[in-house]
Chains A and B, each alone.
Chain A
Amino acid sequence: MIPAAFDYVRASSAAEAISLIGQHGSDAKFLAGGHSLLPLMKLRLVAPSVLVDVGRITDLSYIKDAGDHIAIGAMTRHMDVEKSAVLAQHAPLLAHAAGYVGDPQVRHRGTIGGSIAHADPASDLPATTLALGATYVVQGPNGTREIPASSFFHGFLQSDLAEDEMLTEIRVPKMNGAGWSFQKFNRRAQDWAIVGVAAWRGSHGSGVALVNMGQTPILASAVSKALAGGASIADAAALAADDAEPSPDNNASVEYRTHLAKVLVRRALEQASA
């Protein structure tokens, strides 16, 4: 399978990438690691006329301790997120979840920014960063803006990004020793989650987000609210699907997904509270 023909240009900085995408209009797409975009192009589900390759912007590949949060450059590869000592110390849930993306070959190419910008509700890192209360930094022709993960995802593969904006940084609050768990239920190791759960619980609250339980990654607010009100893990987990709107597919019906979400949230909270 070969993608439809396109023009290819390379950017060496975020500013250049934004200028290039502006010149080429709505039919142009950013190419990072290509592990979400190229499969779609090979299936001819999308056929951009221009690809702006941002994968060589090495300035956007970093993981830095920024005080109360960890700043991650959008072009940081999954493998570098997975193996980061800084993240292992301050946001271990994210490092762990990155190790569940695809397989090692995919993690050598795919980037955290590419995955989040793609806004696939079945991907692991949009939901994980949502659970952690991350902020996304976006650069456009008129400067940068910060978008909370909770208002970034609008629909299936739809985000708050304008056509000429580029996700440049992911800011993840430090977990400060909170317990955490990542649960990914699938049939084969490398597959997308049928349902996944990213959760943390600490002295200052909790965060629970669901993978593949709707058109966007889902923040299970009802669960955190119940926990804050003193509910037991079992009672809170029973509310796991309250904020979700799962769809059926070949792997699971709505009822099965709803059941899985409750079971996986309970397991995640038990592990995070242990």
Chain B
Amino acid sequence: MQIQVTVNGRKHTSEVEPRTLLVQYVREVLELTGTNIGCDTSSCGACSLHIDGEAVKSCTVLAVQADGANITTIEGMATADGTLHPMQQAFMENHGLQCGYCTPGMVMAATSLLKEIPNPTEEEVRIGLEGNLCRCTGYHNIVKAVLAAAGK
């Protein structure tokens, strides 16, 4: 089936099998491998990206369901000249990562969260990131980074 999507501002028309997962499409067809596959069971959030500005788990969305949508992946967060998105900058400054595997999903979930709650409390950040697992940091600096980004 043919789908048309806009990913990070670029339009793509692709022929996909209906069973193609959005994360597979983004990684294997568009070769945007910043979006990671973690648990593959919509638990861990590593595959989070934005559909029309809202974070979703792309391992549990079919590419055909995203037909016509505006998609942003982690590759679309920094500006063309390489200036990091404020959330990426905050993760860097607050050392909100260790191994980095969950980080793209964390950044996408956190930016979606701040759209819904622009000035969250620490508790709201922790609850808002309940769909993203990090096995390294204990979340401490991730929460710090999101609070720092919210303050900007």
Interface set of A (CB-CB < 8 Å, partner B): 1-8, 31, 34-35, 38-39, 42, 51, 53, 55, 79, 102-106, 108-109, 189-190
Contacts of A35 in B (CB 8 A): 42, 60
* Cross-chain contact A39 with B45 (CB below 8 angstroms): no
B75 in contact (CB, < 8 A): no
Q: How far is the CB of A105 from chain B (nearest CB, A)?
A: 5
Q: How far is the CB of A33 from chain B (nearest CB, A)?
A: 9
* Cross-chain contact B109 with A105 (CB below 8 angstroms): yes
Contacts of B56 in A (CB 8 A): 105, 108-109
Contacts A5-B19, A42-B40, A190-B43: A104 and B130 contacting too (C-beta < 8 A)?
yes
Q: How far is the CB of B78 from chain A (nearest CB, A)?
A: 22
Contacts of B64 in A (CB 8 A): 8, 53
Contacts of B112 in A (CB 8 A): 104-105, 108
Contacts of A108 in B (CB 8 A): 51, 54-56, 112
* Cross-chain contact B48 with A2 (CB below 8 angstroms): no
Contacts of B57 in A (CB 8 A): 105-106, 109
B113 in contact (CB, < 8 A): yes
Q: How far is the CB of A264 from chain B (nearest CB, A)?
A: 20
Q: Closest residue of chain A to B20, judged by CB?
A: A2
Interfacial residues of chain B within 55-93, with CB under 8 A of chain A in the complex? 55-57, 59-62, 64-65
Complex: how many Å from CA A42 to CA B55?
21
* Cross-chain contact B48 with A105 (CB below 8 angstroms): yes
* Cross-chain contact B130 with A4 (CB below 8 angstroms): no
A-B contact count (CB 8 A): 82
Q: Closest residue of chain B to A53, judged by CB?
A: B65
Contacts of B60 in A (CB 8 A): 34-35, 38-39, 42, 106, 109
Q: Closest residue of chain A to B18, judged by CB?
A: A8
Q: How far is the CB of A100 from chain B (nearest CB, A)?
A: 10
Complex: how many Å from CA A190 to CA B44?
10
B99 in contact (CB, < 8 A): no
Q: How far is the CB of A106 from chain B (nearest CB, A)?
A: 7
Sample of 26 A–B contacts (CB below 8 Å): A1-B40, A2-B21, A4-B19, A6-B18, A8-B1, A8-B18, A31-B62, A38-B60, A39-B41, A42-B40, A42-B59, A51-B18, A53-B65, A102-B131, A103-B131, A104-B55, A104-B109, A104-B113, A104-B131, A106-B42, A106-B60, A108-B54, A108-B112, A109-B56, A109-B57, A189-B127
Contacts A1-B40, A39-B60: A105 and B55 contacting too (C-beta < 8 A)?
yes
Complex: how many Å from CA A105 to CA B60?
10
Complex: how many Å from CA A53 to CA B19?
13
Q: Closest residue of chain A to B105, judged by CB?
A: A105
Q: How far is the CB of A11 from chain B (nearest CB, A)?
A: 13
Interface flags, B113-152, vs A, CB<8A=1, else 0: 1001000000000011011100000000000000000000
Contacts of B116 in A (CB 8 A): 104
Q: Closest residue of chain B to A189, judged by CB?
A: B130
Q: How far is the CB of B86 from chain A (nearest CB, A)?
A: 20
